[in-house]
C-alpha cells in the first residue's frame, strides 16, 4: 500500500525540516512526500528546495490550509493518504501500526491513532492546558491514515473553513458510513507555539459551529 504524505506549509521555514525528518523513517519504498507551499513569504521555498529531490514540491497563492491539502490530494499518487502540518511531528512506528490496521481489513477506510499535545521542545503540555482536548478529538488529521478512495467518495476538504475543515470531513465520512479503526498508539505530536492557528479560539469556535450547522442541514435534507 503506497502512501502519499501531504504537508501544507505557510511561512514554516523554522519547523518544516523537522516535520519532514520525522516522516522519512516511516516511509516504505514507493511512498512519497508532497509539500504544498501556500504562498509563503519567508524562506520556505528555499528550504523546500534544500530538502531533496524526493520531495514533490508544489506552490500556490495563499488560500488557506484546506485548499493546500486539497492541492496535495490532487497531486498524490498513493493508495493511502496521510497528513502532517508543517509544525507537527510523527512518532516512531506511526505508519507501521496504522498501515497494519488498513491492511488487516479491506473495508476499513480510515485508521486513526492518538495525538499528543506538546510544547515546542516536544514535552507534553500541562494537564490544565485547554488545547489538550486535541488528544480526545478523533478527527485530528495528523493522526489518520486514509484510503484514497475515501476522498474520492466523500469529497475534498471545505475550503471556506479556515479551521475545523478536518472535523467537517470526519462528520461527512461518518454520515456516509465509512468504517474507522482506532489504533492504541501515539501517532502525532501536536506542537504548541506562538503562531499556532488554533490560538485563534474564536476562529476555532466559528469553524466548529459551521461544521455542526452543515451536519444538521444535511440531516434535514437542506
pLDDT of the chain along its 222 residues, tens only? Answer: 999 999 999 999 999 999 999 999 999 999 999 999 999 999 999 999 999 999 999 999 999 999 999 999 999 999 999 999 999 999 999 999 999 999 999 999 999 999 988 887 777 777 777 666 655 566 689 999 999 999 999 999 999 887 778 888 998 999 899 999 999 999 999 888 555 555 555 655 665 666 665 656 666 665
* Torsion sign across C-alpha atoms 118, 21, 115, 39: positive
Q: What angle do CA 38, 44, 95 make, to 5 degrees?
A: 75
pTM of the predicted structure, to 2 decimals: 0.86
Spatial distance between the Cα atoms of 95 and 143, rounded to a whole number of angstroms: 10
Which residues in 39-171 belong to E strands, given as ranges? 55-60, 80-83, 89-90, 108-118, 144-147
Amino acid at each position: 500500500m503506497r502512501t502519499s504524505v501531504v504537508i501544507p506549509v505557510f511561512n514554516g521555514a523554522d519547523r518544516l525540516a523537522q516535520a519532514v525528518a520525522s516522516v522519512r523513517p516511516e516511509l516504505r519504498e514507493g511512498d512519497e512526500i508532497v509539500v504544498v507551499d501556500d504562498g509563503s513569504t519567508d524562506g520556505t521555498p528555499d528550504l523546500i528546495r534544500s530538502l531533496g529531490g524526493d520531495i514533490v514540491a508544489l506552490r500556490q497563492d495563499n488560500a488557506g490550509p484546506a485548499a493546500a491539502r486539497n492541492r496535495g490530494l490532487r497531486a498524490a499518487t498513493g493508495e493511502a493518504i496521510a497528513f502532517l502540518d508543517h509544525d507537527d511531528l510523527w512518532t516512531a512506528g506511526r505508519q507501521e501500526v496504522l498501515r497494519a490496521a488498513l491492511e488487516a481489513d479491506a473495508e476499513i477506510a480510515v485508521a486513526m491513532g492518538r495525538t499528543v499535545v506538546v510544547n515546542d521542545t516536544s514535552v507534553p503540555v500541562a494537564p490544565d492546558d485547554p488545547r489538550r482536548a486535541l488528544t480526545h478529538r478523533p478527527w485530528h488529521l495528523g493522526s489518520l491514515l486514509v484510503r484514497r478512495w475515501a476522498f474520492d467518495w466523500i469529497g475534498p476538504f471545505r475550503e471556506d473553513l479556515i479551521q475545523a475543515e478536518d472535523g467537517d470531513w470526519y462528520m461527512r465520512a461518518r454520515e456516509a458510513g465509512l468504517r474507522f479503526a482506532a489504533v492504541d498508539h501515539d501517532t502525532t505530536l501536536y506542537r504548541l507555539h506562538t503562531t499556532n492557528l488554533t490560538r485563534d479560539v474564536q476562529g476555532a469556535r466559528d469553524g466548529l459551529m459551521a461544521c455542526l450547522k452543515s451536519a444538521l442541514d444535511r440531516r434535514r435534507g437542506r
